[in-house]
């Protein structure tokens, strides 16, 4: 993923980092409005490159899960509505996307957020979910 995509605690949606200041980051919404605003140090900001999903073995990077979903959906958004989906539908979807996910530590809200984030990215034309070079090299060294 070339752009730095961020999730900000307490704010829905995903954001692209536009610029970085001394104590703030300028972000832009990933929607048709493209609204920009500053985010301070007091906000919890997470890069999607740093997020992973719990599995029965080693945790799997979120971008790998996105790649799995992209393959399942042929690069299209997920048609399952995460807000209205039942627990069984969410678990079935997750079992297809990441068969060895940890069913005790991955909650329904996590799966809902995963689907929502994937749909936001695909809808906005971001479909390159390759791991950054440094993470790819670390994974190869561990293998």
Q: How many CA atoms lie within 13 A of 46 on its CB side?
A: 13
| Confidence at 70, pLDDT banded by 50, 70, 90 | very high
- Record the pTM: 0.86
- How deeply is 10 buried, as exposed, middle or buried, from its count of CB atoms within 10 A (0-12, 13-18, 19+)? exposed
User: Which tens digit of pLDDT belongs to each residue from 35-47?
Assistant: 999 998 888 999 9
Query: Coil, helix or strand for 93?
Result: helix
Four-point Cα dihedral 7, 95, 98, 78, nearest 10? -50
pLDDT tens string 101-125: 999 999 999 999 999 999 999 999 9
Per-chain mean pLDDT for the chain: 89
The pLDDT, as a whole number, for residue 138 is 53
CA distance 136 to 122: 22
pLDDT at 142 over 90: no
Summarize the confidence of residues 134-138 as an average pLDDT. 51
pLDDT band per the 50, 70, 90 thresholds, residue 143: very low
Q: What are the structural domains of the chain?
A: 5-48 (2.30.30.730), 51-142 (1.10.10.1650)
In 41-107 the beta strands, taken as DSSP E runs, fall at 45-47, 52-53, 60-61
Distances, alpha carbon 102 to alpha carbons 39, 48, 132, in Å = 33, 19, 24
């Amino acid at each position: 993923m070339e752009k730095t995509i961020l999730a900000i605690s307490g704010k829905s949606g995903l954001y692209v980092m536009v610029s970085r200041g001394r104590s703030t980051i300028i972000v832009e919404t990933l929607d048709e409005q493209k609204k920009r605003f500053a985010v301070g140090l007091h906000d919890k900001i997470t890069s999607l490159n740093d997020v992973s999903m719990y599995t029965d073995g080693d945790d799997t990077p979120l971008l790998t899960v996105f790649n799995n979903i992209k393959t399942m959906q042929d690069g299209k958004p997920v048609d399952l509505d995460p807000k209205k989906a039942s627990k069984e539908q969410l678990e079935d979807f997750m079992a297809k996307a990441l068969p060895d996910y940890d069913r005790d530590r991955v909650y329904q809200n996590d799966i809902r957020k995963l689907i929502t984030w994937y749909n936001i990215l695909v809808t906005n034309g971001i479909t390159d979910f390759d791991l950054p070079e440094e993470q790819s090299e670390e994974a190869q060294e561990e293998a």
